[in-house]
A and B are shown apart, each in its own frame.
Chain A
Amino acid sequence: MRPESERLSAIERRLDSPERRSDEIAAVLPQALRRSHERGEFAPAIQKPLAKIMQVAIREEPEHFADALFPVIGPAIRKAVSEAFKTLAQQLNDAIEHSLTPRGLSWRFRAWRSGVPYSHYVMQQTRSFAVEQAFLIHASSGLLIAHAQSATQSGRDKDAISAMFSALQSFVQESFTHDNKGDLETAELGGLTVWAIHGPSSILACVIGGLPPRSLRGELRGILEGIEGAHGELLRGFPGERDVEAVVGPTLRQALDLRGGESVAPAKSATGTMKPIAIIAGLLLLGLLWLIGSTILDHMRERRLAEAFADVPGLIVSTLQSDDGKIVVHGFRDPLSAEPVQLIESAGADLSRVQLKLMPILSLDPEIVLLRTRSILRPPTGVSIELVDNIVQISGQADAAWIEQAQQTARSIPGLEQAIFDLRVNYADPPEAAAGSNDALDQLVAELDGTTVRFTEGTRFLAGDESRIDGLASRLSTFINAANAEGYEYRLRVDGYSDSQGPADLNARLRQQRASALASRLSNAISRGGDMLPSIAVAGSTDADARQAVLRVQLVRPAPQ
């Protein structure tokens, strides 16, 4: 019996010593907790005390929790705020939409009658919606787990709808997302609005009539989380042996209780009008395009006008700018230069939209100098005043008095620093009147006189021009023969020119050499043809800045008998 009593006292000691007891319990506690958890007893048992502990702890040491929760709370708040904004945006969208419809007008009237601000009335009305059907769809197979519907709906084809929805989900994921992670959250099919919430093992898809507010998503998510939380096991094992519909049905039916507004609008037509936000965006875009377009048009008009005004002799445009739909042109203009009105019209611009602010000037542009010379000298018929290599040339026949006067006046014409006078005295009774004019000879003179042959830097003919010299010689010989036959006197001269580069004495020599080069070439060619050697005078000329020689042919009419 001794050992018996010894064991008893040993047990007593063990029970009496809290240290030893706690050691022993500590050894088995983890396993006990695991067991209890496996039996599903632990979590319910610990839940309440744990909540209590947390409450106390948060009350006593709030700052620890604030620190711990900080990374979680930030995103949560942001999410809530953005959700609130989305809701507001949707309501605004609805409000705008309804202000454009007949219904919106009738609402406006009713709001006015009941003294409620229109915006409030719209908010109230647009919150009218109803969840008409709720599908709980098995996420992987697309099989329908449970279905709930309002009494008025018929539940035909719900299995097919469920499968089709999950097929669509797969299609969207495969076709439109990078990582197959995007979920199909809303669908508008055949006049139905379908909103889907995705859980780990199931999808809650709801057919909604009316205009659901965004906040409905949160409520639907709550329902799905309730179902997944309470019956996750059952859903993961679907289709199992138990009738899952009977289990989750009541929770699912809660979705049908989510409704808003006074009257429930019928399901929104999918073929409805464009979203007003889209219309407004469209209008803004149009406005922007118009702005850009008209700016570009302005710019193009300015450009066209500037081009029309550019390089007009005697016209200098200093600025050209659009101002309040008008184009204002500032600048200077010689009264002899081209008529601005015509320039504007030829540019296709609207005359009334162009405002000219041009100051008068005297232009030294050769073309204007030419016009000025003409307008001052007023040449009689038989005298032509033209520009030859930018130099005014006065040629033809006139009576002696006019020629003298012209040569005097010319000196005081602004811009007319040098001019070539090539005038013959006009006799009172022109010989050709008696002898008859000789059109053939005149034509030959016109053809040959002024023929230009160009040179290289030295005294060699430019290759292309040299080849024309023989042809020129044969025409000249034709002229000489004709003039001799008709009894006309003629004068031949070749003027040699040089450019202004290089030393002046060298250029003077070049002018002479070029003149004689062409003259001798022509006379050689003519004499080889059997005709007598014609006498061709040579002269250096500084009328033009060019490496060339010019043939001068003049017919001297015989004096009257």
Chain B
Amino acid sequence: MTGNRTEKVCVLGDFAVGKTSTVARFVHNEFSDKYLTTVGVKIDIKEVDLGAHGSIKLIMWDIAGTDALDGLQQAYLRGASAYLLIADGTRKETISNALNLHRDVQAIYGKLPFVALVNKSDLDSEWEVGEDETMRSREAGIEWLPCSAKSGENVENAIRSLAATLIGQ
């Protein structure tokens, strides 16, 4: 059944790494600098059209972030087909926190397709993430893709590649 698929995709990451901004960028293609503390969960819908491969409807669950999964967040993750892992390039610790989240999800829900993004690539001068962090991630099987919810860099690409993975399954 191509053309009318629906999948649940969760967005995970430490607080203030830019989860809501990234989803907003991708759903409405606009960016607001206004800080928004996400309470609980925010749901957005995105239809991704992959031409000949068909289209897929993503139900995006933007889950309020911390560095560990609590009971409620685990419940929110139930039934997800894929997830977006987001870190903040200006805060080194958000990378290792994202790694922890990734391990938790795998432990509970098994291996699911995911895309890892290091957000705020527009903030060159404050960039903290170096070779050390990316190396350690690579060992854990994670390839970080730099992106910016502000400039839009790589956001659309990342989501489309996730959609392609889901359709290809």
Contacts and interface: CB of A to CB of B under 8 A. Distances in A.
Interface of A: 138, 140-144, 157, 159-160, 163-164, 167, 170-171, 173-175, 180, 239, 241-243
Contact of A138 (B1, B40, B76, B79): B79
Contacts of A157: 45
7 contacts: A144-B6, A159-B57, A167-B40, A167-B41, A170-B76, A173-B75, A241-B1
Given A144-B6, A160-B44, A170 B78 contact: yes
Contacts of B52: none
Given A141-B79, A171-B40, A173-B75, 16 more contacts: A140-B79, A141-B78, A143-B6, A143-B8, A159-B59, A160-B45, A163-B59, A167-B41, A167-B76, A170-B72, A170-B75, A171-B72, A174-B71, A174-B75, A180-B75, A239-B5
A238 to B, nearest CB: 9
Given A143-B8, A159-B57, A167 B43 contact: yes
Contacts of A143: 6-8, 59, 79
B61 A167 contact: yes
Nearest first, the 6 A-B pairs at minimum CB distance are: A141-B79, A140-B79, A170-B75, A174-B72, A141-B8, A163-B43
Contacts of B57: 159
Q: How large is the interface on B (under 10, 10 to 19, 20 to 34, 35 or more residues)?
A: 20 to 34
A163 B8 CA distance: 9
B125 interface: no
Interface string B78-104: 111100000000000000000000000
Tell me if A's interface is mostly helix, strand, loop or mixed: mixed
Contact of A243 (B4, B72, B78): B4
A164 B43 CA distance: 7
A163 B75 CA distance: 13
Contacts of B75: 170-171, 173-174, 180
A559 to B, nearest CB: 106
A160 B79 contact: no
B164 to A, nearest CB: 17
Interface string B1-31: 1001111100000000000000000000000
B9 to A, nearest CB: 10
Interface string B41-83: 1011100000000000101010000000001100110111100
A142 B41 contact: no
Contacts of B4: 243
Given A164-B43, A167-B43, A170-B72, A142 B1 contact: no
B48 to A, nearest CB: 14
Contacts of A142: 8, 59, 79
A170 B80 CA distance: 14
Q: Which of A170, A171, A242, A243 has the most CB of B within 10 A?
A: A170
A172 to B, nearest CB: 10
Contacts of A174: 71-72, 75
A141 B60 CA distance: 11
A326 to B, nearest CB: 61
Contacts of A241: 1
A163 B77 CA distance: 12
Nearest to A141: B79
A343 to B, nearest CB: 65
A159 B76 contact: no
Contacts of A164: 43
A173 to B, nearest CB: 7
A180 B78 CA distance: 14
A465 B104 CA distance: 86
Contacts of B79: 138, 140-143
A170 B8 CA distance: 15
Contacts of B76: 167, 170
Contacts of A239: 5-7
